[in-house]
């Protein structure tokens, strides 16, 4: 009866029954409960149950043994079992399973990858390396894929001892198992995560010698460059980037965006601009609007205004049409540095290109033009605000009236005060409302 009911169940139903037994039955009763349920285990059922059992290794073991009485486990099922045992730090049972797998000719590299990962997660790095050292005794080749798997597992643990173990292992094994491009990629990304500039330089040099520029992966180059940049060696990074460009191995736009952000975070306008030169003018890559706005802002912060002009002019040439943000960024820089003539010229360019200056920039510009004795330009800004309905205008109105008052042009003060009141500028300074 139980068997007939079990056969009528869907696969999900059978999984539910088995999982309920493993979850609820007392440990001593699991075997008998499994035998009475009437379910005949299949490979798919075994894999489904094991995939659910990472937090219940004892139940997984009982189920695995019970299901093995009526079917031969596949290498996939064995590997799942090894992975469960290793993840739960049950290393002796894990090796018992590995030895059984050897007997059943079910071993593969995947089995040892699970062992590497388990030992590294438990910070037992020596045991991870020892697992590699015994692979050949189990008939699994110690090839570059195995080497890469172990190094990758070691770098997953943030413990500094882990990366040191990876370095020592690589130095020992490379004469016997020649590294391939993936080996260097894993190492360089590891040195980037651990900020190990010295190791990154050595690994990069060895990569170029062993596999050459063409065979090396682009992610290896990018990881090396980011290690230098984050390691506060921007000159070295720019130098190597130029060498890569000369070897036709220039990174893509995503790398440049990330590198630019690091330079901006470090307030490093000089190297940000050098990066930009290689990316746009030498490499022919097209930056997006966010990147353009970001570097313009940084250049203005460093008062590198001509370079900011050049980036702004290049945006249209690259098909990236600027909005008002970069214009206002440059205009604000000119105002803050009291570049009266340049600010006036740039204001006219903004008008020509239909890029509205912000209300705050207009107010600051009016103040600056009055203080630097260019009332004509101050009035032009005010008139433009009214014509183009740039609002709010309250701060700008106050600056206008203050500037005219300081110049002794009281009749104009009265005229513009009355005009402003008529326009309902309720937030004007009280001195103009009486």
Q: What is the DSSP string of 255-308?
A: HHHHHHHHHHHTT-HHHHHHHHIIIIIIT-----HHHHHHHHHHHHHTT-HHHH
Query: pLDDT grade, residue 13 (50/70/90)?
Result: confident
Same domain, 434 and 332: yes
What is the average pLDDT across 263-286?
Answer: 93
How confident is the model over 367-405, as pLDDT tens digits? 999 999 999 999 999 999 989 988 888 888 888 889 888
Same domain, 383 and 350: yes
How confident is the model over 201-246, as pLDDT tens digits? 999 999 999 999 889 999 999 999 999 999 999 999 999 999 999 8
How far is the C-alpha of 241 from the C-alpha of 271, rounded, in Å? 12
Phi/psi for 129 (5° steps) reads -70, -40
Contact yes or no for 25/58 (Cβ under 8 A): no
3-state secondary structure of 81: helix
Give the number of domains in the chain. 2
How far is the C-alpha of 88 from the C-alpha of 84, rounded, in Å? 6
pLDDT at 431: 55
- pLDDT higher than 80, residue 52: yes
Q: Is 77 inside a domain boundary?
A: no
- Domain hosting 360: range is 327-434
In the listed set 322, 341, 359, which residue is the last one of a domain according to the structure?
322
Residue ranges of alpha helices (H) inside 134-252 are: 144-155, 160-173, 181-194, 197-210, 212-215, 218-230, 234-246
In this structure, what CATH number is given to the domain that contains residue 382?
1.25.40.10
Q: Is 187 inside a domain boundary?
A: no
Contact yes or no for 86/94 (Cβ under 8 A): yes
């Amino acid at each position: 009866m139980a068997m007939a009911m079990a056969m009528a169940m869907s696969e999900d139903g059978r999984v539910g029954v088995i999982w309920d037994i493993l979850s609820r039955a007392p440990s001593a009763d699991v075997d008998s409960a499994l035998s009475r349920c009437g379910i005949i285990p299949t490979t798919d059922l075994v894999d489904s149950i094991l995939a659910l059992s990472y937090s219940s290794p004892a139940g997984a073991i009982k189920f695995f043994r019970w299901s093995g009485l009526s079917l031969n486990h596949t290498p996939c099922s064995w590997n799942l079992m090894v992975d469960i045992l290793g993840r739960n730090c049950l290393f002796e049972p894990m090796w018992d399973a590995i030895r059984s797998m050897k007997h059943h000719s079910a071993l593969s590299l995947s089995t040892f990858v699970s062992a590497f990962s388990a030992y590294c997660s438990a910070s037992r790095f020596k045991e991870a390396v020892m697992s590699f050292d015994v692979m050949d005794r189990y008939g699994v080749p110690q090839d570059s894929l195995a080497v890469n798997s172990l190094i990758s597992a070691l770098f997953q643990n943030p413990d500094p001892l882990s990366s040191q173990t990876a370095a020592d292992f690589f130095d020992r094994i490379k004469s016997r198992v020649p590294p391939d491009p993936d080996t260097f990629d894993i190492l360089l990304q590891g040195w980037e995560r651990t900020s190990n500039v010295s190791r990154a330089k050595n690994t990069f040099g060895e990569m170029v010698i062993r596999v050459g520029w063409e065979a090396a992966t682009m992610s290896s180059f990018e990881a090396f460059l980011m290690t230098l940049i984050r390691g506060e060696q921007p000159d070295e990074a720019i130098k190597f980037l130029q060498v890569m460009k000369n070897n036709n191995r220039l990174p893509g736009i995503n790398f440049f965006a990330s590198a630019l952000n690091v330079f901006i975070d470090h307030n490093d306008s000089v190297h940000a601009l050098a990066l930009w030169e290689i990316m746009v003018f030498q490499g022919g890559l097209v930056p997006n609007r966010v990147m353009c706005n970001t570097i313009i802002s940084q250049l203005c912060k460093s008062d590198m205004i001509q370079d900011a002009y050049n980036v702004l002019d290049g945006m249209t040439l690259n098909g990236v049409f600027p909005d008002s943000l970069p214009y206002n960024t440059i205009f604000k820089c000119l105002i803050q540095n009291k570049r009266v003539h340049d600010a006036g010229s740039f204001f006219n360019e903004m008008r020509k290109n239909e890029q509205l200056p912000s209300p705050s920039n207009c107010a600051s510009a009016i103040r600056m033009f009055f203080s630097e004795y260019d009332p004509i330009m101050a009035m032009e800004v005010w008139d433009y605000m009214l014509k183009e309905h740039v609002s709010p205008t309250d701060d700008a109105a106050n600056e206008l009236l203050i500037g005219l008052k300081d110049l002794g042009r009281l009749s104009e003060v009265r005229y513009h005060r009355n005009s402003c009141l008529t326009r309902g500028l309720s937030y004007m300074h009280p001195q103009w409302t009486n």
